[in-house]
A and B are shown apart, each in its own frame.
Chain A
Amino acid sequence: MDFYGINPAVLIASLMVASVPIMLAAIGELVVEKAGVLNLGVEGMMIMGAVCGFITAVHTGSPWAGFLGGAAGAMAISLIFALLTQVFLANQVATGLAMTLFGLGLSSLMGQGYNGIKPPAMADVPLGPLEDIPFIGRAFLSHDAMVYVSILIVAGVWAVLKYSRVGLILRAVGENHDAAHALGYKVRRIRVLAILFGAAMAGLGGAYVSLVRVPQWTDGITAGAGWIALAIVVFASWKPWRVLIGAYLFGGITVLQLNLQAAGARIPVEYLSMSPYLITILVLVIMSSGKGRAGLNAPAALGQNFHASR
């Protein structure tokens, strides 16, 4: 069952792993944007997660502690963003960009002396005989726990946004913060909590890069994954399950083109490399040309600051 000399099971297995960081970061950013906050600091939070997670894992010897450390590190830096945009009402775009630059620099500083250290390894989830099922075992059931955790998080976010009161309030804040405020919801507090959640997810994604995907610390290790996560949120038109699809598409095509090359397939790889971006543009065009509910679906108050006096 090979095509172009590539085993599809192996391909699916690699793309599931490759998609975890961008999926986590994107689902976090989705929640933030659903609350009406545009945080362009995803890349900065991811790399903070990568470095904090790495340092924590190295010192504690536990990858799980590393993931917690990564989430905490990213949340710490996102508090600055929350303070600036929610309390001092600074421009969200500019602040987010500054957070990315700040995160890249700070992570480089914190990572001094950690180059070349190997973090504790993350074991695969032991599924016993299930792993021996032909095809399915290799493709879907032989991964580390974070692969499954990330999918569960997507499912959780979907369920909360769609069915729970919390999700409804969050969406209300993102669609019309004045109305939400009039109803008595604490807009600022909800947004800060959303920002913290988004940061924790980005931190987990970053830590996954430095602990599992490339088990090492190198300056700039996330190399733009945060920006791809931002693109995926738009691509997914703010719908959780489409984030999953988007992450697999973006992560998958990278893996696919590398595998095609390794297998010696004569396919012009540069076109394949650019295809996720072309697809994003295409999706944007199709969505924005559609009428009514097929429209862009962006939260109405996205990027707008809120002050109770208005």
Chain B
Amino acid sequence: MTHFQLNCEGMNCPMPIVELTKAARSLEVGQKIEVTATDLAFKPDLEAWARRMGHTIEQFDEADDKSHAIICLGSKK
């Protein structure tokens, strides 16, 4: 299944989380978002957002100041 692609590179807090929320609202439970971001707080913010909203971070990695994550959407969008 193709993941929804979201490029948040160059965006500062809180915009990556705002864009993730917009994307999540347009998708169904169980669908996945693949996101890249460069905000320094992206990892803790993503974790807080996912816990709060019931999503699962299936993959997270960082390289060259760029974060990459795959999120599986839960029921609370």
Q: Do A and B bind each other?
A: no
